[in-house]
Every structure is written in C-alpha cells, then in structure tokens.
Structure 1
Amino acid sequence: MKKVDRKQGAEAGALLSIFVYLLLSIGKLLAGAVFGSDAVEADGWNNLSDIIASSAVYIGMKIAKKPRDCNHPYGHSRAENISSLLAAFLMMSIGIDVITSGIRSLFGKEKATAPDVLAAVVALASAAVMIGVYAINRRLARRTNSMALAAVAKDNLSDALVSIGAAIGIAGARLGWPWLDPLAALVIGAMIGKTAWEVFMETAHTLTDGFDEQQLAVYKDEIAAVSGVRDVADIKARMLGNDIVLEVTIRVDSHLTVAKSHEIADEVERLMRNRHNIRATHVHVEPEAVR
C-alpha cells in the first residue's frame, strides 16, 4: 500500500469511529431516558467522550501528513503518536469512571424499578456495532501500520465491552440480582484500564525511540547477505509516525571505488524498501579493516 493510501486509510478508520460514536451516543441517551436505564445513558455519555478522543486522533493524523518545514526537518509524523497518548489517557479516565460508578452502585441504594428489557437490547446492538467497527479499524491499523488507529481500535473494543456490561447489569436488575451490574462494571473498568495502559506503554516506547530487537535482527541478517557487504557494523531503527527510519553502517572491501560502494548502499536501500516497505534507509559505508 502506498504511503498516501496508508494515511488515507487510517484517517478513514478514525472518521468511521467518529460517525458511529455520534449515532450511538444519541441513540443511547434517548434509550436510557425512555427505558429508565442509567447504565445505557451513562454508556451514551461515554460515547460522547469517545468522539473527542477519535477527533483528536484524526487531527493528529492530519497534522502528521504536513511536509517538512524549517522547524520540523523530520516532518510532523509523531503528531500521530501524541494523539495515541491522548486516546490512552481518555480511555484510562473512562475506565476509572466505570470503576467508580460500579463502586457507588455497589454500596448505593437499589433503584425502585428495573430498566425496560429494550434497554438491554439497545446495549447489545451497540456492542455488536462496535465489535464490527473494531474489526475494521484493527485490520486498517495493521495495513497502514498506524499506532493511532490501533489505539482507536482498542478503544472501540473497550466500548463494546462497556455496552455488554450495561446489558448484563440490566439483565441482573430484572432477575433480582442488583449486585451483577456493579460487579460487571468493576471487571469491565479494569479491562479498559488495562487496554489504556498497553496503548500508553506501546506509544511511550515508540516516542522514546524503542524498536523491536527481533525485527532489527532480521534486517541485519538480510543486509549482511547483500552481495559486496562484508559486515554490518551497526544498525538501529526508530518509528516516525507509522514510518520506519533505518540507519545502518556496513563494511565493504577497502579497494572498491566510491561508485561501487555507492551501488552496494543503493542495493541495501532497495532491499529494505521492497521487502519491508522501509522508505528511509540511511546507509553509511566504511572500508573493511585490513588485517
């Protein structure tokens, strides 16, 4: 997939989330009020906050597309990583809110009447929609290598779990088990918090120039096998948004001409671009030490 197409695909996933969240939030707020379900109504407010998170991610993706300028010689790609952090913080706040609401319900007074069963139907339908959106965004995130969209996808899954928890709570209230609602809220809140922490740690690892050691070893072995490369003296990589930047130092025969050494470096760049879609491979050539 071309670079422009990848970024457009990631933006499409973020826009899909915004549109779905808008529809679901309106439907849940109305259903919660009509069918007497605090859980569904709270889930509607949760989706409204998700609109803010997805919008922040979308804005981050748009900023990341801006070309280099005098203040950003490497471009604006890391704006997408910052939007992932924002999404993680908002997910964590949602998880904490779900947990605290569950604790308040656990020790609070029971409602006089149980919510209408249609409220549970609304919650389950919402969960089904969000699972579908999650599947679409997860697939797009993998195709586009977008960490921001991957964070959005995890948020989609968290929202599906919240809706399932709301349905469980409604069912428990109708069956005379009021404790089921807060218990489900506590479990789901903990799961949302765990997902937010994973998104935060993954994004923080990228922003501090962390990179998968096993993948780096694969790059090193493949470069070492290029004709004319005597040794890979050094190799390192980092992420700029959803793009990999690879820096490698190779050793070649000290008797080669500059032109021939340059051809070997070009071959390394082509290999990484064609096999791993790495568009920025910086190759430093050194002469092999004479023994």
Structure 2
Amino acid sequence: MQVDVYANLKQGERGVWVSIIAYVCCSLVKVGVALLAGSEALLADGLNNTTDVVASVAVLIGLRISRKPPDHDHPYGHLRAESISALVASFIMLAVGIEVLSRAISALFTPEMNAPDMLAGWTALATAAVMFGVYRYNRRLAQVTQSQGLMAAAADNRSDALVSVGTFVGVAGSQFQLHWLDPLTALVVGGIILRTAWSIFREAAHRLTDGFDRSELVALRSTIAEIPGVKDVTDIKARYHGSNVLVDVVIHVDPTLNVTESHTITEEIEARMKAVHNVKAVHIHIEPEGQSEH
C-alpha cells in the first residue's frame, strides 16, 4: 500500500510542475501586457496567476514532505503535509484576492477611464486556452493518483481558464464605450479568487480536523455489512490521512468461528473496501455476536 501511495504522490508532483510552469509564463505575459495596454482586468488576472504560482509551490512542497516515509516521531508517515500545503495556499490566495478587489474598486470609481488596448483581450483568451489544457491534464492525473493537492490544483486551473475568458469579455466590452466593464471584470476576478480560497481552506480544514462526509460513511458501512460472515456493524469511523482514507470498524461475527475463519472475513473486508471504495487501510475489531464491544 505504501508503495502505491508514494508512487501516486510522485506522479502528482509532475502535474504540479506543469501548473507552475504554465502559471509563471501566463502571469509574466499578462502583467506585462496589462501594464502596456492599461487593463485592470488583465492585471488582476495576472496577479491571480502569481498567487497560483506560490500556491502551487506550496502544494509541491507538501507533496514532497508527504513522500517521506514514517520515522520515529511520525509512525503514520507525513501524508497530512499535503492537506497543510493546501491550507497555506488558501491563505496566500485570500491575501491576493483582497488586493485585487481593492484595486478594482478604486478603478471602478475613477471618473475618467480609457478603454484598454484589445491586445489585453487576445492575451487573456490565449492564456485561457493554455490553462484549460493544463486543467484537463491535471484532472486526468488527479483521478489516477487520488491526490487532494492535485485535485485542488486542477480545480484552480479550470477557474483560472474561466477567469481569463471573463477578462476577454471585459476588455472587449470596454471597446464599445463600456469603460466600466474592465474594472468590473477585475472585481469579479477578485471575488472568484476569494471564493476559491475559501473552498480550498474549508476542505483542507475539514480533513485536518478528521471530518468525514456522513453519506460516504454510510456507503462504507453498507459495503461491509453485505460481506458474508458479518452479522452486524456496530461502529465505524473514517478519516483522511493526506489523500488516503483510514477506516476503523467494529463487526460482530458468529462466536463459534475459529481465528482462521474470522481472519478470512477480515481479509474479504479489506479486499472489498479496496475494490469498491479504493480504501487501502482498514482497522477491524471483531466481537462475538450477541456481545457488546469492549
């Protein structure tokens, strides 16, 4: 199991590197063109990409730390570093989102505004196509590796592509004397940054505090209860350790079963949980039917 986990983390790093390279190129181009073309929307979009660079680096560091094997004071390994890196990334995005909103509000109420050059719009559209390609690549890789950090990165890639499309619309609209549309688009971009930051923060905090979706827990219980030999499932808990799910369950079996027969049931539970729910770590406590757990 550990080999699979660390191999997935290594594959996840490849996706993060693709994001970092794309964000660095896009942010440099956008900020440069925005300053030349006088576009607040494209500048906000470019600043958004700079936060994505920092956030992606934080995710990369988290994945690197997560790959470290267990040691004397981390017997379960370092897999939760991935969730911590996502939490750090959300704080970085929050700070820049506030800055983008501040600049946009100031520009929105500026009495005289000139329409930005349409070069800003075409730049936004081109980078939107790039980020959508990165999103598709990372989404496929995240589905294979089941990496929380990479899944968050893929979602961010998609939102960035949509933000850039919105930037194009804002710049294009300003060409028709709708000068307020460019800073208004920047305002929307700032709101999207804050929303993404909150979403990443909420998910990371939920996992770090051992939160787990109730409906998923019900599904896990149902799978175990259907296994032959399991008379009852009296308690079940689950939590995330990085991108992995750890399950603790108490089952009741026929009290006349010997150790080997009981062990066969636990092996079937482990195999079924891995096949149906991709859960690779299950701690099973067996109790004789008719007795309460100790």
Query: 2:176 maps to which residue?
Result: 175
The one-letter amino acid of 1:139's match is R
Shift, 1:36, TM fit: 4.2
The answer as to whether partners of 1:29 and 1:40 remain within 8 angstroms in 2 is: yes
**Partners of 1:165 and 1:217 in 2: how far apart?**
40
1:278 partnered with 2:255:
no
Give secondary structure in 1 for the equivalent of 2:115: coil
What is the CA–CA distance in structure 1 between the aligned matches of 2:128 and 2:289, rounded to whole Å?
Answer: 61
CA distance in 1, matches of 2:223, 2:52: 43
Of 92, 96, 112, the residue aligned with 1:90 is: 92
Q: Give the stretch that moved more between structures: 183-192 or 15-24.
A: 183-192
Deviations 1:65-102 (A, max 9, x none): 11111111111000000111122222222322222221
Match of 1:106 in 2: 108
Report the AA paired with residue 27 of structure 1: V
For 2:197 and 2:44, the matched residues in 1 are separated by: 19
Measured in 2, the distance between the counterparts of 1:142 and 1:266 equals 26
- Matched residues in 1 for 2:290 and 2:120: separation? 75
User: Aligned match of 2:29 in 18, 27, 30?
Assistant: 27
Aligned-partner SS, 1:226: coil
- One-letter amino acid of the counterpart of residue 74, structure 2: H
CA contact 1:91–1:155 (8 Å) conserved in 2:
no
Aligned partners of 1:165 and 1:185 also within 8 Å: no
- Report the TM-score, using the length of structure 1 for normalisation: 0.91
Shift of 1:250: 0.8
Paired position in structure 2 for 1:245: 246
Equivalent residue for 1:69? 71
Displacement of 1:14 in angstroms is 0.8
Equivalents in 1 of 2:152, 2:92: separation in Å? 11
Question: 1:95–1:190: 8 Å Cα contact kept in structure 2?
Answer: yes
Structure 2 contact 40–182 (Cα < 8 Å) conserved: no
> What is the Cα deviation at residue 42 of structure 1?
4.5
The corresponding residue for 2:83 is 81
Once the two structures are superposed, the pairs formed by residues 157-168 of structure 1 within 5 Å of their partners are: 157-168=158-169
Q: Which residue of 2 aligns with 1:217?
A: 218
TM-score (norm 2): 0.90
Q: CA deviation at 1:56?
A: 0.8
C-alpha RMSD of matched pairs (Å) = 2.2
Q: Distance in 1 between matches of 2:185 and 2:16?
A: 28
1:74 match: secondary structure: coil
| Number of aligned residue pairs | 290
Question: Identity, % of aligned pairs?
Answer: 49
Aligned equivalents of 2:22, 2:125: Cα separation in 1: 15
Q: What is the Cα deviation at residue 201 of structure 1?
A: 1.2
> How many angstroms apart in 1 are the aligned matches of 2:149 and 2:257?
45
Distance 1:110 1:140, change over 3 A: farther
Shift of 1:49: 2.9
> How far 1:138 sits from its partner (Å)?
2.7
State the SS of the aligned residue for 1:281.
strand
Instruction: Tell me which residue corresponds to 2:60.
Output: 58
Structure 1: tracts of 5 or more residues without a match? none
Matches within 5 A, 1:120-159: 120-159=121-160
How far off is 1:41 after superposition? 4.0
Q: Any idea what SS the aligned residue of 1:256 has?
A: coil
Equivalent-residue separation in structure 2 for 1:138 and 1:221 (angstroms):
29
In structure 2, the residue matched to 1:196 is 197
2:237 partner SS: strand
Q: Is the 8 A contact 1:161 1:188 kept in 2?
A: no
Question: Is the CA contact (8 Å cut-off) linking 2:66 and 2:77 kept in structure 1?
Answer: yes
Cα deviation, residue 173, structure 1: 3.1
**1:251 Cα deviation from its structure 2 partner:** 0.8
- The equivalent of 1:119 in structure 2 is 120
Q: Tell me how far 1:236 sits from its aligned partner.
A: 0.9
State the alpha-carbon separation in 2 of the partners of residues 183 and 115 from structure 1: 13
Q: Is the 8 A contact 1:141 1:150 kept in 2?
A: yes
